[in-house]
Structure 1
Amino acid sequence: MSCRAGIALAALFAFACNRQPVRPQTGRIAILRFENLGQDAATDWMGRAFSEILTTELSGAPGIHAIPASRMHNFQQALGVRPISAPGISSERTLALAAGANRIGYGEYSVRKGRLEARLSIEDPQAGVMSQVVSATAGANDVIAAASGLARQIAPRLAPYGTRDTRALEPWVSALESNDAAAASRNLEEAIAADPDFGPPYRMLAERKAQTQDRDGARSVLEAALARGDRISEADRAHIQFDIANLDSDSAGRQRALLALVRLDPHDAIAWRGLAEAAMARREYRPAVEAYQKSLEVEPEDANAWNQLGYAASYAGDLNAAVSALRRYQALRPADANPLDSLGDAYLLAGRFREAGDFYLQAARKDPGFPHSAELFKAAMARLMSGDVAGADALSKQYAEAREAAHDPLVEAYQAEWSWISGRRHAGYDRLSAFARGAEKGELREAASRSYGELAIWSLMLGDRAAADEMARKSASLAGPGPAATAAVARFLAQEPGPAAEWARRAEQLFANSPASPLRDLALAYALLVSKEFQPASAVLKRIYDRGGTASDEAGYLLAWSLLETGRPKEAAPLLRWNPIPPLTGPGAMLSFYFPRVYYLRGLEAEKEGKADDARTNYRLFLQLSGPDAMIWGEEKRARAGL
């Protein structure tokens, strides 16, 4: 798939106070809700109708990106909620600026002597001046004609609005502004009945049904819309096909719909972001970069998109582009710690550990939680990955001392995990055991459960299945009513050894209430790896990796492990390219399944490919970080043999 669909560069609007079409000079215009200056409150609904019609029609104009009201109202939570039916000048201007508008349209209308009179003033907010004023008149109830008359004075080519029937338009607008779900659904059904070829009400009605778990009803509504064929606009049909694909979790269908949307409207930033996110999920990073860039051409103030572009560029191997994108993100969010954290991640992925650690430390200082910021743990991990154990220990100690000063009751568990992950396994094991025993009663009972679960997993890694069984039982006995993933996985792994088929049966039995949960597959994969059943483990891990989501990065390293152990180094190599980004949650129970093993795996892959120097470099780092306490797989012995 290529995301290189063409997109016209937005030119600036050269607004003039006349009624002639003007050459567009900018692409980002927000038409706010019009204000009713008349005496008849029954026409208040027209205020939103003007905004909707103008926005839709201007979306078809070359060089113009008309920002939908829905996009603006995405910023309500951050900026404060005002009634959606309030005039736009009081309720939507701030939202428009947050959405990246550099032209804002304020409108007013009234019905006088049987005529609907409307005026639209367009502001250049940066210059603080009204650049253009246009007006139009139509029959008293013909808001569609009046709005189209305004639109034609702004741009020479427009997209037709989806209906010309006021009997469909009024209930549609009422549904948009209703806070009553049942009333909104009735309005939508009324709009569809009045004009069955009007696409948007179908989509909103289907969304309402999906929100109430009526998936069949939602599908029926959307299929009824598609049955209208080309009487519904091509753009609306593409949106409807996208909604159906979402209902079906059909990634290929979503892709087709998104490509259709950007072909029809190259200024559809939401569709470009959808394409970028889909490409990221497939790990097609160059197309993801291109799609995020297209999105940002339309909405250059979208801070999150700059952040995601930074990660896409990092994974595409372009550190300079990643840093450039993340600097733009930082400029848009100068008070936030996250841009600095993202810069740290970019440098860490590229193997620039010193710079990564510096950015994590900067993020820690900007973090509201400083000095006990988890960014210090990430800085310590970056130092550890460079082989500087003493420097890593110093940063980890700084983090632990800050947590102690804040009276964090879990800091002892963190220090035990740090000892384990930095190569002092028996010391870490003993320290976590002491913490768990002391935490069994009182408010830290669930922390004790997690710690015993972690100790069970560590026991298995050290080859002590009896201790693993004991620790897993303690973990289960202390687990609270909430989620207890560590306890469940520990109890699962501590069972008697068996063949791969038996482990699969056990996983289905233990996780019967969540058959689609990634936890079930991960637990099965861990069990197969502990049993050294690498061939069946590779099939399970491939499934997790291909599924994407939060577990897929970890699964990638474990998949590489299973591939190398089954003689497939070329398949493993791409999975080992990137350094693992340290989790802000701390070391946790499962990090030691792939860290510092990743360096052993890189050494093994290099050795199989005849790259002796690379193999020795990675083996040395692995042995340094693994420490003297070998685990059951015998990798320390194999690494020493490769030096």
Structure 2
Amino acid sequence: MIGQTISHYKIIEKLGEGGMGIVYKAHDTQLDRFVALKFLPHYLNSDPVEKERFYHEARATSALNHPNITTIYEIAEHDGQLYIALEFVEGSTLKQLVKHEIPSNKTILDIAIQACDGISTAHEKSIVHRDIKSDNIMVTPKGQVKVMDFGLAKVKGAVKLTNAGSTVGTAAYMSPEQALAVDVDNRSDIFSFGVVLYELLTAHLPFRGEHQAAITYSLIHEAPQPLARFNQSVSPEMERIVLKALEKDKTERYQHIEDMQADLRKEMKNMEYARTGYVKAVAALPVVNADKNRKVLKYAIPAVVAVIIIAAFVFNPFSVQINTQKTQASEKNSLAVMYFQNIADPEDKHHTGDMLADLLITSLSQTKDLEVVSRERLYDIQKEFKADSRIIAPDMATKVAQRAGVTTMLLGSILQHEPTLAVTARIIDVQSGKILSSVRVIGYSSKQIFALVDTLALLIRNDLRIADASPDEKKSVTTVTTNSIEAYRSYIEGVDLNGKFLNEEAYVAYKKAIELDTNFAMAYYALATARGNVSSMERSASLQKAYALSGRLPERERLIIQNTYVSDIENNPAKAAVLMEEYIQKFPHEKGAYLELGAYYGRTGELEKMGLTYLKGIQVDSLDKNLWNILGYHQAGVNNKSKALAAMERYMRLAPAEPNPYDSKGDIYFILGETDSALVWWKTALKFRTDFMSSWKIGAQYLLRDDYAHAEKYLLQYASARGEDHKLYVDAVPPQIAMRQGKMNLAIRQILELLPRHAKQNPPDLIFYDYADLISLYDEIGDFDAAEKYARMNALELQKDPAYPVAGADLLAYVFHRNGKQNLSAELMRGLRNNYDRMAPEDKANVDYTDGVLAFEKGDYDAALKHFQNATARAFPNHAPQYHMALSLLKSGQTGDAIKEFHLLTWRSQMGNMFFDLDYLPFWNYGSVFSVKAHYWLGVAYEQQGEKQKAISEYEKFLQIWKDADFKSKELEDAKIRLAKLKGVTAP
């Protein structure tokens, strides 16, 4: 049609084509102006409904007169073709704009505010656009916004033009109600405009798919990725605005476009204030002894470091050089933020001093040319100087800074709280003691602590003569942490408590932080990686949330979260190890990275690399108590008693007032088989905290010694300390004692009574303990139908957690086999084997072990042993014993090895450490039963070897423990016959 004249419009070029027709640029020869002509396709002209839609567009649009809406000039028909003449707009669509580059936040806000003006005008006239997308909004070269193409506009009360099931409009921009073909109102436009804003800010669509059905599923069921993942300059408030517009429930969205526009205007004002407002609150003091043209001295590190070795303690059993004089911070400018002395509140009751220091470290850590030492590192150094306070005193600051190897340190003071905060900060050259600069910041209220920190960080960067920082390095501390002061206060309390192994208190603090700010990425990560009884599903959900929010974080924190996600959600510790090696190359002084990397190597069975990684970490920081602690476990795992205990001694010196070093030392003795010594150290830990986790270990050990009074005392002591949410742990103690005593039916009744409450209240993982116990109990008494019932329920629950790809299929396959359903068992195992190569090492071990048990059930003991050896190949030599492996050894004639494994089963209780307990294998909860039956099988083994007295002793122990058994046991009956025969008497 190019070159033709339609009425008084000469067509010049084709502009575009869409579902509602073809658009041309034309010259209006009467009024000498350019217009856009939109033609309805020929075949649609004969459709009365579609023709009505076209006229509807014209009537709706012609009712609007606004500078941010394209004007309609005429509607007409030519040679059987309907067309509409519209205002021609020069410029770019938002789709074209964002393809070139993401506009600045200010430009986006300006576009959004203008577009809201246009949409608001339509809504005032009860017109819903219904096809808002980035292709339908243009920006002129002068910055004027035009909302175009009301081709799907719907006037309230007009003919319903869209039949159910007909998703008219671009799918990726539709509201959920449009996708479901239900009535829409102005809130549908708000959702679609939220999609446009998301696209402008990130260059990505929030809901994507390869076809319309996939897109529809995404926008109805899936949450969009956080904007900060794609654009770290997006403020938390801007993200809140967009996500509110994208609420799937329209009652949760903005109810009027004017409300959304009001928030956008506020954000525009906040942005303008943020650029200039801080100056009003700063009064700079004169710089003392500082040459303005002189850069701050750097602490130079030679290319080849000659480490001065001084004994870290009386002897150094490790082949690692331990430097206790001075550590190197970096070749960059380096800074230690010591403390903010709270003169107005010497006890710092509200943690204001702590928060200022932590937030300032977080803010300055974003600066690539500045190495900032962590507070944990500074506290560790202070402890070496026999000072255990959380506040680094002035007379100690220089010593600590020199030991940390930094060039400069910051000492701060809080002079007043009311009516506004008054804070001073001095930057001091560590070597000379000269004050390089001093600033005083005033005018911020206690609720503006984040803005105060942003100002301080800016001034400190300037005073340190650091090159112009990138936008990422100058992000507000609220962007990378939280905008809630109380949330941050709870978070740092949790970090402190977690570091002391006060797990329950830390959990409460993290949960409070998240309740106060549901977008606090590091609080979610802290919860996901916290010690103690956090449910597996809560860990997975928290880690996924942290990962989704990690885009806004500084590089260090972001990479740590991504590594953990790869390890725990993608179940790929080998890939995580490679990523962590790269991370350590970037941040060699991040001591926590060595702990993570060592754990990854532990999971992949690379035990030598695991130990070397911990030693490398200690070379970086010989005062890190956690590295010494985990090194001790590693050495015990590889049967190196002297080095294990030496590491624990070092740990105890670093944290003499905490309970965990003594608990860990008990664990070391336990791993090495010295249970009496283990009990001594576990009880020592309880002198520091009566409700510490040691009480559970003591109770479990007394249970295996059949000292039920003490077992109940310590187990209840631990269970009753779980807090209000975990009181049901107390009720879980009696069934464990009943199982040990052979009272299986009693234990079943007790657990069934607990089950409804556990299912309703859902304390951490208790429901899975219940299911696992019921499966083992019903299996033991021969009620395989009931065992199958709970194995199915267990599998269904575990399928909800992406961290468990096996999802209970192991026990279910076993129970199917026991219940005569071998075909179902084989089918389940084929499914697991098909996914084997994509599994984490622990899940592979699980599958291997289950294959072994099924081979054992079929009488193929050699095959069973091969599977068991595969399952435990990556574990420490000193790992927990396995009942089915012991049986297979006995059945295959390897009696001596079987006796060793059965002996371990009689005393080795779980200690809460995956690397030693192997609790990722099936049957982990059968310990109460297997530890008793081990005595029976020891009797059988000794009898085979002709050791009559030993056999008699084991049979008697077995019969004594299960003397009150309430179920029919073939082992019990056989033990009585065998014992009588050995004694030469008649069996009872």
Q: Tell me the TM-score normalized by structure 1.
A: 0.55
Judging changes above 3 Å, is the alpha-carbon distance between structure 1 residues 38 and 525 closer, same or farther for their aligned structure 2 residues?
farther
1:66 to 313, 323, 328: 328
Contact 1:432-1:455 at 8 Å conserved across structures: yes
Within 5 Å, give how 1:27-38 maps onto structure 2.
none
The residue that corresponds to 2:889 in the other structure is 563
Contact 1:541-1:555 at 8 Å conserved across structures: no
Please, which moves more after superposition, 600-609 or 375-384? 600-609
Contact 1:272-1:295 at 8 Å conserved across structures: yes
Contact 1:605-1:615 at 8 Å conserved across structures: yes
The residue that corresponds to 1:231 in the other structure is none
The residue that corresponds to 1:115 in the other structure is none
Structure 2 Cα separation of the partners of residues 298 and 341 of structure 1:
26
The residue that corresponds to 1:463 in the other structure is 782
Structure 2 Cα separation of the partners of residues 433 and 274 of structure 1:
39
Partner of 1:495, secondary structure, is helix
Structure 2 Cα separation of the partners of residues 69 and 544 of structure 1:
46
1:314 to 629, 636, 651: 636
Judging changes above 3 Å, is the alpha-carbon distance between structure 1 residues 281 and 211 closer, same or farther for their aligned structure 2 residues?
closer
1:92 to 373, 389, 394: 373
Within 5 Å, give how 1:264-279 maps onto structure 2.
none
| Pairing 1:106–2:407 present | yes
Partner of 1:547, secondary structure, is coil
Structure 1 Cα separation of the partners of residues 607 and 795 of structure 2:
42
Deviation digits for residues 237-275 of structure 1, max 9, x if unmatched? Answer: xxxxxxxx954979xxx9xx99xx9xxxxx999999899
Supply the AA of the counterpart residue of 2:931.
F
The count of residues paired between Structure 1 and Structure 2 equals: 481
The residue that corresponds to 2:76 in the other structure is none
Judging changes above 3 Å, is the alpha-carbon distance between structure 1 residues 499 and 460 closer, same or farther for their aligned structure 2 residues?
same
Q: Which runs of 5+ in 1 are unaligned?
A: 1-34, 109-119, 124-128, 132-168, 181-203, 216-244, 262-266
Judging changes above 3 Å, is the alpha-carbon distance between structure 1 residues 527 and 432 closer, same or farther for their aligned structure 2 residues?
farther
| Pairing 1:591–2:927 present | yes
Partner of 1:537, secondary structure, is helix
- Percent of aligned positions that are identical: 19
| Pairing 1:536–2:860 present | no
Structure 2 Cα separation of the partners of residues 449 and 270 of structure 1:
31
Structure 2 Cα separation of the partners of residues 92 and 419 of structure 1:
53
| Pairing 1:493–2:814 present | yes
Offset, 1:580: 2.8
Structure 2 Cα separation of the partners of residues 295 and 340 of structure 1:
22
Please, which moves more after superposition, 292-301 or 384-393? 292-301
Structure 1 Cα separation of the partners of residues 700 and 563 of structure 2:
45
Contact 2:738-2:747 at 8 Å conserved across structures: yes
The residue that corresponds to 1:230 in the other structure is none
Offset, 1:566: 2.1
Offset, 1:572: 5.3
Partner of 1:66, secondary structure, is coil
The residue that corresponds to 1:378 in the other structure is 697
Offset, 1:356: 2.4
The residue that corresponds to 1:146 in the other structure is none
Structure 2 Cα separation of the partners of residues 504 and 465 of structure 1:
17
Deviation digits for residues 508-541 of structure 1, max 9, x if unmatched? Answer: 3368677623444454445555666544332332
Structure 1 Cα separation of the partners of residues 719 and 941 of structure 2:
36
Judging changes above 3 Å, is the alpha-carbon distance between structure 1 residues 297 and 410 closer, same or farther for their aligned structure 2 residues?
closer
Supply the AA of the counterpart residue of 1:82.
T
Structure 2 Cα separation of the partners of residues 332 and 589 of structure 1:
35
Contact 2:574-2:601 at 8 Å conserved across structures: no
Higher helix share: 1
Give the number of the structure whose alpha-carbon radius of gyration is greater: 2
Please, which moves more after superposition, 91-100 or 414-423? 91-100
Partner of 1:60, secondary structure, is coil
1:443 to 757, 761, 766: 761
Partner of 1:420, secondary structure, is helix
Deviation digits for residues 558-616 of structure 1, max 9, x if unmatched? Answer: 43443333223466577678653424499973434643455566666667777776666
Offset, 1:470: 4.0
Structure 1 Cα separation of the partners of residues 937 and 648 of structure 2:
31
Offset, 1:420: 0.8
Contact 1:348-1:581 at 8 Å conserved across structures: no
Deviation digits for residues 291-328 of structure 1, max 9, x if unmatched? Answer: 86786576431212322333244345565654443232
Structure 2 Cα separation of the partners of residues 472 and 331 of structure 1:
47
Offset, 1:276: 7.8
Structure 2 Cα separation of the partners of residues 72 and 594 of structure 1:
57
Offset, 1:419: 1.8
Structure 2 Cα separation of the partners of residues 574 and 287 of structure 1:
29
Contact 1:387-1:621 at 8 Å conserved across structures: no
The residue that corresponds to 1:454 in the other structure is 773
Within 5 Å, give how 1:214-233 maps onto structure 2.
none
Contact 1:356-1:382 at 8 Å conserved across structures: no
Offset, 1:545: 0.9
| Pairing 1:304–2:626 present | yes
Judging changes above 3 Å, is the alpha-carbon distance between structure 1 residues 511 and 631 closer, same or farther for their aligned structure 2 residues?
farther
Offset, 1:379: 0.7
Contact 1:451-1:475 at 8 Å conserved across structures: no
Structure 2 Cα separation of the partners of residues 556 and 465 of structure 1:
22
Contact 1:312-1:322 at 8 Å conserved across structures: yes
Judging changes above 3 Å, is the alpha-carbon distance between structure 1 residues 504 and 61 closer, same or farther for their aligned structure 2 residues?
farther
Structure 1 Cα separation of the partners of residues 744 and 772 of structure 2:
16
Contact 1:354-1:382 at 8 Å conserved across structures: no
| Pairing 1:582–2:910 present | yes
Offset, 1:455: 1.3
Supply the AA of the counterpart residue of 1:443.
Q
Please, which moves more after superposition, 532-541 or 403-412? 403-412
Structure 1 Cα separation of the partners of residues 912 and 370 of structure 2:
42
The residue that corresponds to 1:546 in the other structure is 873
The residue that corresponds to 1:420 in the other structure is 739
Partner of 1:82, secondary structure, is helix
The residue that corresponds to 2:647 in the other structure is 325
Judging changes above 3 Å, is the alpha-carbon distance between structure 1 residues 94 and 59 closer, same or farther for their aligned structure 2 residues?
farther
Judging changes above 3 Å, is the alpha-carbon distance between structure 1 residues 97 and 425 closer, same or farther for their aligned structure 2 residues?
same
Judging changes above 3 Å, is the alpha-carbon distance between structure 1 residues 82 and 103 closer, same or farther for their aligned structure 2 residues?
closer
Contact 2:666-2:682 at 8 Å conserved across structures: yes
Deviation digits for residues 119-153 of structure 1, max 9, x if unmatched? Answer: x9665xxxxx979xxxxxxxxxxxxxxxxxxxxxx
Deviation digits for residues 25-66 of structure 1, max 9, x if unmatched? Answer: xxxxxxxxxx996768xx9xx879x56xx34x3553353763
Offset, 1:89: 10
Supply the AA of the counterpart residue of 2:649.
R
Q: Which runs of 5+ in 2 are unaligned?
A: 1-287, 309-322, 339-353, 382-401, 410-427, 435-465, 477-554, 567-572, 914-918, 983-988
Contact 2:632-2:645 at 8 Å conserved across structures: yes
Contact 1:503-1:528 at 8 Å conserved across structures: no
Partner of 2:732, secondary structure, is helix
Contact 1:476-1:491 at 8 Å conserved across structures: yes
Contact 1:353-1:385 at 8 Å conserved across structures: no
Within 5 Å, give how 1:470-481 maps onto structure 2.
470-472=789-791, 481=800
Deviation digits for residues 427-473 of structure 1, max 9, x if unmatched? Answer: 2223213333x538743598557524531332112222233234445
The residue that corresponds to 2:266 in the other structure is none
Structure 2 Cα separation of the partners of residues 458 and 36 of structure 1:
78
Judging changes above 3 Å, is the alpha-carbon distance between structure 1 residues 387 and 283 closer, same or farther for their aligned structure 2 residues?
farther
Structure 1 Cα separation of the partners of residues 564 and 696 of structure 2:
42
Offset, 1:332: 1.5
Structure with more contact order per residue of length (Cα contacts < 8 Å, sep ≥ 6): 1
Contact 1:276-1:288 at 8 Å conserved across structures: yes
Contact 2:732-2:751 at 8 Å conserved across structures: yes
